[in-house]
Structure 1
Amino acid sequence: MLAGLRCCICSRVHSLTSSTFASFDETELALHRMGEGRPVILVHGLFSNAHTNWIKFGHAQKLAEAGFEAIMPDLRGHGQSAAPQDPAAYPPDVLVRDLEALVAHLEVEDYDLVGFSLGSRTSARAVVEGLAPRRLVLSGMGLEGLAGWDRRAAFFIDAIDRFEQVRHGDPAFYAVSFMKTMKVDRPAMRLLLQSVDDTTAEDLKAVTMPTLVLCGADDRDNGDPQALVDALPDATLAEIPGTHMSSVTEPALGEGLVNFLSA
């Protein structure tokens, strides 16, 4: 368990606590929190979890230092959350429905929302469906990554189906290596990948709050971040060092979040 972790910054102690909450269908999802102050919900990427995306490299700690409460779910099928293997547990936009259930569980109306990769896709889709954070951060994301999901999902489903046969040099090698590192529940993940819906450039007109597109300078895994900025009504682009995977390890990610959310 992550509960009980302590970090002492500037003589102030920030504790990390872990709990669970029941989503819309009673699936138990893990929830990790650090800091006190303005709530900011952080949604991690595919095959990852809250600890790897937000805690391990200090991003949640930076937010806590700056006076925020970092609220970090493990997505369905990821981390310490349940990974049901019943197809009925993965209706269309299930991750959006889980995010809506989290906001209802927290009983917050004034909050910020941050996503990385699949978390960005989920966050943008949730705003289109009606969530209304004060500020939004879409990290590790370009315009093309929000639509055409069937093609992207097919790549990962193929990696799952060929999991034991994939070797170095195969296009799926790094995806399989990451799944092995994260001990991903492959049957659950296969179902989850088929539940994600597209968000089009037309849909993005509903995303009217100030939005930061925060992307690694060498990250084009999910398309062109500038094209995403151009499609949003009120967005700016910030680049940090790194590729799609390595940008998560960069201190600049947490610094970029703090700078934008503190404005």
Structure 2
Amino acid sequence: MNAICEIHPGYDGQPLAVHRMGSGRPVLLLHGLFSDASTNWIRFGHAQRLADAGFEAIMPDLRAHGASARPHEAEAYPHDVLVKDLAALVAGLDLADFDLVGFSLGSRTAARGVITGLKPRRLVLAGMGLEGLAGWNRRAAFFLDAIDRFETVKHGDPAFFAVSFMKTQKVDRAAARLLLESVGDTEPAELARITMPTLVLCGAQDRDNGDPAKLVAALPDARLEEVPGTHMSSVTEPAMGEAIARFLSP
């Protein structure tokens, strides 16, 4: 099954590419940093797995990613711009009853979307631990440094894989820098607002965004499931799509 691509406005009218596959209960899936809907959700079969289970996978390319707008003006990246775009998409797509899934940066966006008022039936936070939600400044500094040293990073440098991925994805570094600086931090106390059933889904060797068990403990109604892999490889595992479909199925 092929995904169709539509263009929908972000919170300020910037065009966002939204890929859709399947029919049935809507599931909004948010990809990770420097990635896109195809890389995270379509290429390795997760969207197809959800479609086969009776869901419609709705997969935006986040601002500054994929086929969505990549503006270079600072005013296009206010605080929590991705959360603003998420709310605009939910409203514009008329998603009154839906599930919400994020991976890495997508998980941060999904969690902050719920904290600021979105009410999905179920929530999946993949590739995320407590420190990744509450310590964004440290994480962002790593990627900003990788952008600054983009042309000189060599194999063996801690930033090598991030830079290699940016090259593969043809990341617009000017837009990426502005986006990184716009992402809001989350106070641990705010997690009490995430009251719906939540799956924290993480690679067994993935602690890039902190401890997933601590995140589970901080949420009112959450459980942890691990799949094989590291932060980068876990999203390639069929087990990830299977775990998402299993958790979201009635």
- The alignment yields a C-alpha RMSD, in angstroms, of 0.6
Which aligned pairs between 1:52-201 and structure 2 lie closer than 5 A? 52-201=39-188
Match of 2:242 in 1: 255
Runs of 4+ in 1 over 6 A off after TM superposition: none
Give the C-alpha shift of residue 149 in structure 1.
1.1
1:216 lines up with 2:203 in the alignment: yes
Give the C-alpha shift of residue 150 in structure 1.
1.2
1:242 lines up with 2:229 in the alignment: yes
Alignment length, in residue pairs? Answer: 250
Distance 1:207 1:28 in 2: 29
Give the C-alpha shift of residue 257 in structure 1.
0.5
Q: Give the gaps of 5 or more residues in structure 1.
A: 1-6, 8-14
Code of the aligned partner of 2:46:
H
Distance 1:32 1:187 in 2: 25
TM-score w.r.t. length of structure 2: 0.99
User: CA offsets per residue over residues 146-181 of structure 1, 9 Å max, x none?
Assistant: 012111111101100110000001111000000000
Give the C-alpha shift of residue 17 in structure 1.
0.4
Give the C-alpha shift of residue 137 in structure 1.
0.1
TM-score w.r.t. length of structure 1: 0.94
Q: Give the gaps of 5 or more residues in structure 2.
A: none
Give the C-alpha shift of residue 200 in structure 1.
1.8
Give the C-alpha shift of residue 143 in structure 1.
0.2
Code of the aligned partner of 1:85:
H
Distance 2:33 2:63 in 1: 10
Match of 2:191 in 1: 204
Given the alignment, which residue of 16, 19, 38 partners 2:6? 19
Distance 1:151 1:56 in 2: 30
